[in-house]
Amino acid sequence: MDEPAGTAPPPLPALRGPWWRDTTVYHVYPRSFADGNGDGVGDLPGVIAHLDYLEHLGVETLWLSPFFRSPQADFGYDITDHTDVDPSHGSLADFVHLIDEVHRRGMKLVLDTVLNHTSIEHPWFTASRSGRDDPKRDWYIWRDGQRADGRGRPNNWRNMLGGRGWHHDAGTDQWYWASFLPFQPDLNWRNPDVKAAMLGVVRHWLDLGVDGLRLDVFNAIFKDASFADNPRSLRPLPTGSNPEGFFQRPLHTLDHRDTFALARELRGIVDAYDPPRFVVGEVMGASGVLREYVGAAGEGLHLVFMFDTMGTRFSADGFRRLLADAESAFPAPLQPTWVFSNHDRPRAMLRLGDDPRKAKLLAMLQLTVRGVPFIYYGEEIGLSHVEIPAELGLDPIAARFRWVPRWLARRLRGRGILLNRDECRLPMPWTAAKHAGFSRDDVVPWLPLDPRSGTINVAAQDADPASLLATYRRLLRLRRAHPALHRGAMELSSTGQSAAVLAYRRVDDSESAHVMLNMSDATVDVELPVGVHALHSTIGPCVEVTTGRRRLAPYEGIISLSTDAGPRPAAAAGTRPLR
């Protein structure tokens, strides 16, 4: 019953809701995916060259981190032209080719949009800082210093990295605000011209046929117009579920009510497009705050990231709590998101101790729970983490935190904070060639390769039906083929199973999928539900089964299918219609 290697995924079944509710997203960090033009840096032609691979993998939507014009001080998150392609990544013609090729395959394309700030080299900022009377002055956030001599920051606000976010401009003797790094000045969204220009950027890409946008640091867009000090706090470090940290509460700098209003406004803009598009917000906070971005009746952002996924201990209990929380914060037809790695955080494989059994189990969880999965490039082959000392880092964060001793950097990494993000952006290993097929043998990639690339690469796993890559392919096909798995309601169950087993059921009109994940290193016995007929395992091929007892190996996950759906979980059955 397994798909033979090499077959194309089945056509997408007709879905009841908009496509984005049920899609699977693959996140490409363009600099690190594939070097198409031979300069050691990944680019759009490199992505195009690997679309067959992605189609065969079975992912439905691609999200590309920024490839817009940029001095590359933050590798594209510092933009000088939001509507042009940086020459290091290709050209606008390459972009048009890319979107055509993606759509020709029935896939979708999502771009990263940085609405909060620009590069310090953006012509808008150059004009803005040229004089207090410049027409672009008010496009950024400028304030006087607190002291009579102009010195002394305007208030106590800290940026998202814990530093002081105000930067003095000697030429005009005022301070500008930057939520992230000093070379990324924040735009002043309270200026209607700025708002119009940035919403114009949104429309520009949607008009070109882009299917969705990922909104960078969306929670920072509006700052309080009072410029009052943020309250003090005892919390040293922020976390995914609580942005309070660096000894202050970001009351006036994050999650402003005007940002929630902007979420609703954006929803209106995006929903006016046909076929439907979506936006996913990079926001942080407890599930209540995340839900506010989506809106009480789903009238805000279509999706938001849930970063608690990356801080959850690998245990049935930990994930049970996470799933219960996601189900209650985002009841159907709202959708949670499932992300275990990205270009800012330690890769999941590090947390999993490089154990492929655990990686297969996590993949089964990610691709069978209710919600939209975001797979980070390389995750499907178990691309792992390599420690790169901060002094060798190209990442501007590494430059900033070079003074942090290595033992502390390691400890922070264990807590999900990466001081050198190069570590999670290593070149994609395609083959066992000198530069792993990422770039030509005579061209050195922009970042070092994972030393294990000789064995951990796409070509090696392609040929191995027991590989992590093969598991991802099987799971993605299974998810696509079974409505219960891509659009079914979800019910967490614990009845009769060992505490080490995370068990849940996905239910659609005509079928049920029962998922059981043994999250321990011990063998456990589980009772298969009545009426199941086929069983997929993270170890071994699909088999016919009948009801009964099944032994799960350490870290084995299984999905068993039954055609009798049984009663639908109450939470989904009684949900009032949302947009």
Catalytic center residues: 216, 282
Judged by CB under 6 A, does residue 343 bind ligand GLC?
Answer: yes
396 alpha-carbon distance from chain centroid? 20
Cα distances (angstroms) measured from residue 529 to each of 87, 372, 493, 509, 563:
56, 26, 11, 17, 12
DSSP codes, 120-138: TTSHHHHHHTT-TTSTTGG
Report the residue number, 80 or 467, with the smaller CB distance to ligand GLC.
Answer: 80
For residue 254, give the amino acid letter.
L
Select the residue interacting with ligand GLC from 3, 22, 216, 508 (CB under 6 A): 216
Site for ligand GLC in 277-296 (CB under 6 A): 282
Report the residue number, 285 or 356, with the smaller CB distance to ligand GLC.
Answer: 285
Judged by CB under 6 A, does residue 77 bind ligand GLC?
Answer: yes
Select the residue interacting with ligand GLC from 28, 62, 79, 114 (CB under 6 A): 114
Q: Which two tokens stand for residue 57?
A: 């993998």
CB of 216 to ligand GLC, least distance (A): 5
CB of 180 to ligand GLC, least distance (A): 4
Spatial distance between the Cα atoms of 348 and 340, rounded to a whole number of angstroms: 6
Spatial distance between the Cα atoms of 142 and 154, rounded to a whole number of angstroms: 9
CB of 160 to ligand GLC, least distance (A): 8
DSSP tag of 395: S
Cα distances (angstroms) measured from residue 71 to each of 120, 157, 302:
9, 27, 31
- Name the 3-class secondary structure at 104: helix
Q: Are 176 and 142 in contact (CB under 8 A)?
A: yes
Report the residue number, 221 or 365, with the smaller CB distance to ligand GLC.
Answer: 221
Spatial distance between the Cα atoms of 283 and 9, rounded to a whole number of angstroms: 33
Report the residue number, 180 or 472, with the smaller CB distance to ligand GLC.
Answer: 180
Spatial distance between the Cα atoms of 412 and 278, rounded to a whole number of angstroms: 34
CB of 77 to ligand GLC, least distance (A): 3
DSSP tag of 4: P
Residue nearest ligand GLC by beta-carbon distance: 77
Site for ligand GLC in 397-416 (CB under 6 A): none
CB of 42 to ligand GLC, least distance (A): 15
Q: Are 216 and 203 in contact (CB under 8 A)?
A: no
- Cα angle 259, 326, 470; round to 5: 110
The CA radius of gyration of the chain, in Å to the nearest whole number, is 24
Judged by CB under 6 A, does residue 213 bind ligand GLC?
Answer: no
Report the residue number, 76 or 483, with the smaller CB distance to ligand GLC.
Answer: 76
Site for ligand GLC in 144-183 (CB under 6 A): 180
CB of 299 to ligand GLC, least distance (A): 25
For residue 371, give the amino acid letter.
G
Judged by CB under 6 A, does residue 74 bind ligand GLC?
Answer: yes
Spatial distance between the Cα atoms of 216 and 202, rounded to a whole number of angstroms: 13
Q: Which two tokens stand for residue 368?
A: 């069978």
Residue with tokens 């759009």: 44
Spatial distance between the Cα atoms of 471 and 541, rounded to a whole number of angstroms: 10
DSSP tag of 118: -
Report the residue number, 333 or 393, with the smaller CB distance to ligand GLC.
Answer: 393
Judged by CB under 6 A, does residue 218 bind ligand GLC?
Answer: no
CB of 151 to ligand GLC, least distance (A): 28
DSSP tag of 229: P
Report the residue number, 65 or 384, with the smaller CB distance to ligand GLC.
Answer: 65
Spatial distance between the Cα atoms of 579 and 565, rounded to a whole number of angstroms: 26
Report the residue number, 114 or 561, with the smaller CB distance to ligand GLC.
Answer: 114
Per-position x/- string for 180-209, each x denoting binding to ligand GLC as judged by CB under 6 A, each - no binding: x-----------------------------
Select the residue interacting with ligand GLC from 138, 344, 354, 355 (CB under 6 A): 344
Site for ligand GLC in 120-139 (CB under 6 A): none
Q: Which of 335, 282, 381 is nearest to 54 (CA)?
A: 381
Which helix (H) or strand (E) element contains residue 468? Answer: helix 468-481
For residue 193, give the amino acid letter.
D
Q: In terms of DSSP bridges, do strands 174-177 and 166-169 run parallel, antiparallel, or are they unpaired?
A: antiparallel
What are the beta bridge partners of residue 25? 61, 374
Report the residue number, 220 or 372, with the smaller CB distance to ligand GLC.
Answer: 220
CB of 308 to ligand GLC, least distance (A): 16
CB of 46 to ligand GLC, least distance (A): 20
Q: Which of 113, 95, 84 is nearest to 48 (CA)?
A: 95
Report the residue number, 23 or 119, with the smaller CB distance to ligand GLC.
Answer: 119
Q: How many residues bind ligand GLC (CB under 6 A)?
A: 9
Q: Are 305 and 219 in contact (CB under 8 A)?
A: no
For residue 392, count other CB atoms closer than 10 A to its CB: 12
CB of 10 to ligand GLC, least distance (A): 34
- Contacts to ligand GLC by CB under 6 A: 74, 77, 114, 180, 216-217, 282, 343-344
